[in-house]
Chain A
């Protein structure tokens, strides 16, 4: 297919990308973004250094390979270098979405979204602004390497996003709702029911929320918040690039150490059909599930080829790039916490004397002290939710927080997030997914 230069490893990632983003402000169509591009990222490796090129158009691939190769120093034993030995040569071909979004006219796409503002705006009393967006994304991925990889498969996803700003006097609050999936038929009645429920909660919330007094609180997290917790606390902690050259981290986050309830596991998955579907990563590695917390113990690390080679770890399929203009780096995929044994969340509330229930989130940041910005939250007093509260930030140390999880519900939910994305420098916008049960945390700092 390509003339791969001798003594060098080469791979070619091609994204045949089509995207429509339709936006309404209130009931008016305000924007349609239609993107269609053939984006290419070529990598050449000489055993010491990578040479990367990002550009558009398949017709320039060979020219770019040759241009990069001219900068490299060939190594005739390139196949035996640690990084190249780790890289896989998978072959896979599957087209699933030929009858998908791209077959629909732009009028149809606009029609799909227009019903949402039309349905909800007349029924909202305190809504001052409503942004409605529909993201329709299709990618035909091609991946080829000098080692023999040949991948050719497609994926299609939608994301419906409603951002409602509710105002009551001087108080304002933005409730954000996102529904993702692979087929528009998934936008069924249950979606409407959930949006109505969110509107009702947001209108009640904006009329009554009060700021909390900063301090340590018992905290109950919704499945959406638990997912963010998995991502920001454990997920980033398990990214192998942070372990390279850092013996302190290696010994602090050491596989097998008991850190929490033995029934608790957190796993980072790749090929989850109903989530962000990643059968292979952006280095062509087959995605495998990685238990980052395994039955109460520190589990495995998420890797790409460079970190797997440097730390002598297995390849997990976590090398991901934000888009064709970026290089793959170690990133999370779908991070899920296992269910517990508590039948209903109300049973968890019942055991809380004075605490906070965080139902939605606005943002989060991962580090050993990780932080999350809750959205709609409530005070729990003597086992019952009593009033809406505004919490600016909740934060804790990773291991302390994991150790203080003492109850989880049977019910779990997963939330793929195409709209609010993960930022890891320098790539600040990658879609990830996460989820889990309702959990009770004995103590967290709340502002």
Chain B
């Protein structure tokens, strides 16, 4: 019998905005612990939030072995590794964080008086550990800042009108000022584009500008899942090794300090991918689906260490939580490729920069729609105006294939997973 404990401690300190002022200071201190017992191909699990008596919880996990939940893999053993991505960062100072945020918010308020700005500035420290009684001892720590702001235009009838945000280990809220000065400069100059025409659309690969079910890149959770690829529930079924997309398009899982934040170097099963990188799509070619131990063994695909760490869940890819809000998965994955200059990718063409997309859908035949709540018209290096709500319409095959122009560095809002995709897409007015 093997006993294993998986733990996440989250400490968060945040300044929360409402109507462009700091309305609240929030602190969060949460400890989540999963107690696992493995025996004879079965697993028993207990979970608790807060402090607990380890012995009691392991005993209760043992009792649950009789439920017969199968886990036909040997837990990892004899690995001791500790990684601290926060090492070398300056100590977090609450007062300095709030003071600096307050100054920034005041400047932002002056810069965008016609907007009501809400949501928050978060300073987060996360510690992960996975320890068992056969010599496995994995520990990970990271500390980072997340800024997620929603903008409400005081001159429109919309609910949401814009978004700004980034995640970084350095606290540089001044990026927001640069973004608002550059991107929002001509926000009152309404421009009409040709309804039903294709335009290059500039959209962030992450979810800060595609919030609230922004569907950009969320299709890969379903389509790259090994089970779906093997059993026919994916449009990529039977296509491993085939060239499906543009040479410039890659989709990769990262566990490296440079390319991921807050993601431990091991997964829920203790799998460590050496080098911290797995390519699912490389230069347009479907390389492999994402797997956990079970799917890797069952279907013969390489083990990609993609089992999300959810201490209350049996280790593996099995999704047991609530449904509804699509997210980019597997954890730590993002669109990659050679970074080019935005203006080179556009070649002087008029483009629409997605400041906020809201909702949308991709369907089981690969159809894709993206409601653009606020788009800025970008031309020859400048944001020249704003467009009213638009509907982008494409297919997964086209948007990452023939209509994919490439990936540009996000000079307007730096941060991890913030690069900009340029995709030709048919745009329609929402009238």
Contacts and interface: CB of A to CB of B under 8 A. Distances in A.
Contact-size category for A: 35 or more
Which residue of A306, A368, A369 has the most chain B CB atoms within 10 A of its CB atom? A369
Contacts of B320: 21, 23, 30-31, 33, 133
B331 interface: no
Which residue of B22, B30, B31, B320 has the most chain A CB atoms within 10 A of its CB atom? B320
Interface string B354-377: 000011111111011101010000
Contacts of A50: 16, 23-25
Contacts of A192: none
A129 B69 contact: no
A447 B320 CA distance: 31
A102 interface: no
Contact-size category for B: 35 or more
Contact of B365 (A34, A71, A211, A252): A211
A242 B159 contact: yes
B26 A369 contact: no
Nearest to A253: B157
B325 A23 contact: no
Given A33-B320, A56-B30, A245-B154, A49 B22 contact: yes
Interface in A91-123: 106-107, 110
Nearest to B22: A49
A128 interface: yes
Interface string A354-398: 000000001111111111010000000000000000101101010
B36 interface: no
Contact of A106 (B67, B358, B373, B393): B67
Contacts of A373: 359-361
Contact of A252 (B18, B45, B157, B430): B157
Interface stretch (B174-182, B183-191, B273-281, B310-318): B310-318
Interface in B5-47: 16, 18-20, 22-31, 45-47
B295 to A, nearest CB: 11
Which residue of A28, A172, A176, A421 has the most chain B CB atoms within 10 A of its CB atom? A172
B367 A36 contact: no
Interface stretch (B48-56, B136-144, B256-264, B343-351): B48-56
Given A50-B24, A51-B24, A35 B312 contact: yes
Interface string B64-90: 100111100000000000000000000
A165 B23 CA distance: 45
Contacts of B120: 426
19 contacts: A31-B69, A31-B318, A32-B69, A49-B24, A52-B26, A53-B27, A54-B26, A107-B67, A163-B323, A242-B159, A246-B116, A246-B154, A248-B154, A362-B361, A371-B371, A392-B362, A397-B430, A420-B324, A423-B212
A-B interface, 7 closest residue pairs, ranked by CB to CB distance from nearest: A365-B359, A56-B50, A50-B24, A420-B324, A373-B361, A37-B49, A252-B157
Given A241-B118, A371-B358, A447-B369, 5 more contacts: A31-B313, A167-B232, A242-B152, A369-B430, A392-B361
